[in-house]
Each structure stands twice: as structure tokens, then as C-alpha cells.
Homo-oligomer: A and B are copies of this chain.
Amino acid sequence: MKKGKLIIISGPSGAGKSTIVRALMAQSPGAFFSVSATTRAIRPGEEDGVDYHFVTREAFQELIRNDGLLEWAEYVGNYYGTPAKPVLEKLEQGFDVILDIESRGARQVMDKYPEAISIFVCAPSFEELEKRLRARGTNTEEDIQRRLLKGRSECEKADMYTYLIINDDREKAAAEAAAILTAERCRNKDHLSVLKGE
């Protein structure tokens, strides 16, 4: 059976990654959106298994030791990572898997799975990014500044991704994401077997 596609989405907070993820999910029946594991404390409004898999440091370190993570990083004293098992199972079953991860993790996944499709999503400008973050109205000024700083640093890594979507229009960005997936499915190596079977 044909394996699913592993799709990496990265980009600054406020760039509109969720638009892209939704477009890809709509384009790919049964697609699996990977939920990261973390050792940080659960926050009000968050749900275990939805926002993150909240695990203990011991459990996370056990995953590291057993090569049970596709990628991981430590950030402000907490671990974050992508459990490998559910991702690999879904791919084997023929379903596409979407990872919404940061550039450090993306680098690790690209090294392990060079066939992964990598998409960097950015806003048309940093001014626009700031405007979108402020429009959310849910972030403190400190949080906004932290996200912007992080966003700039993430954008410096954008050239390691295969695709870049400049999200200046939600519908256009969604169409581009869908087109990338369609085009990737037309890649020759994926279905030359069909041709040889003629």
C-alpha cells in the first residue's frame, strides 16, 4: 500500500498556520494531525491529548532514550517533542500526517525523513504579523514581544523548507497548501509503479 505523506508546517505565531493545516486536512481524508508531548504544566483551558500530551519528565526522558520521538527540544526548562509511534503508524496505514513544529524540530524530522514535505508559512511582513498578534486580544504585551522575537528568528530558518506560503490572503494561502499536496502526490517516484503496471 502507498504510504502517507509526512507534512511539516512551521512559521511564526500569527502567520496563519492553522489555515494551512485546515486546508491540508480538508484535502486529505483521514489525515492525522500530530499532537506534541510536553513536560510543561497544563494551563487553564488546555486539554490533555488535544493541545498537548502532558507527560512527566521521566516519561519524556524514557521516550528520548528509546528513540521514541521524531524530534524534540528543551525550551525554558520544559521538553517538547513529537511522539514517533502514532505518526509512523498512520503513515504506514497510508494516511498523511501533519506536524506543526518549530524549525529546530523540523530540521530533525527532515534529517530523518528527507521525503517529508516541508512548508514554511509567513505573514507578508513583520508589521502585519504584529497586527495579527495584537488583533487576537488574548496576549499580553510581553507575550506579543516574545512571539515577534521568536517569529523573526524562525523566519531566518525559512530557507531550509521546500515551500514557502506567504499568507497575505487566507483563501489563496489555503489553495496553495492544497495545490502543494496535490502536486506532491503527482511526483513521479510515487506512482511510477502504476505506470510500470500498464
Give the interface size class of chain A.
Answer: 20 to 34
Q: Contact: B192 with A163, CB < 8 Å?
A: no
Q: Looking across the interface, which residue of chain B has its beta carbon closest to that of A159? A: B192
Choose, from A52-60, A139-147, A176-184, the stretch at the interface: A176-184
Q: Is A198 an interface residue (CB 8 A)?
A: yes
Q: Is A191 an interface residue (CB 8 A)?
A: yes
Residues of B within 8 A of A161 (CB): 188
Residues of B within 8 A of A179 (CB): 178-180, 182-183, 186
Closest 9 CB pairs of A and B: A183-B183, A179-B182, A179-B179, A180-B183, A164-B188, A163-B186, A179-B183, A125-B198, A126-B198
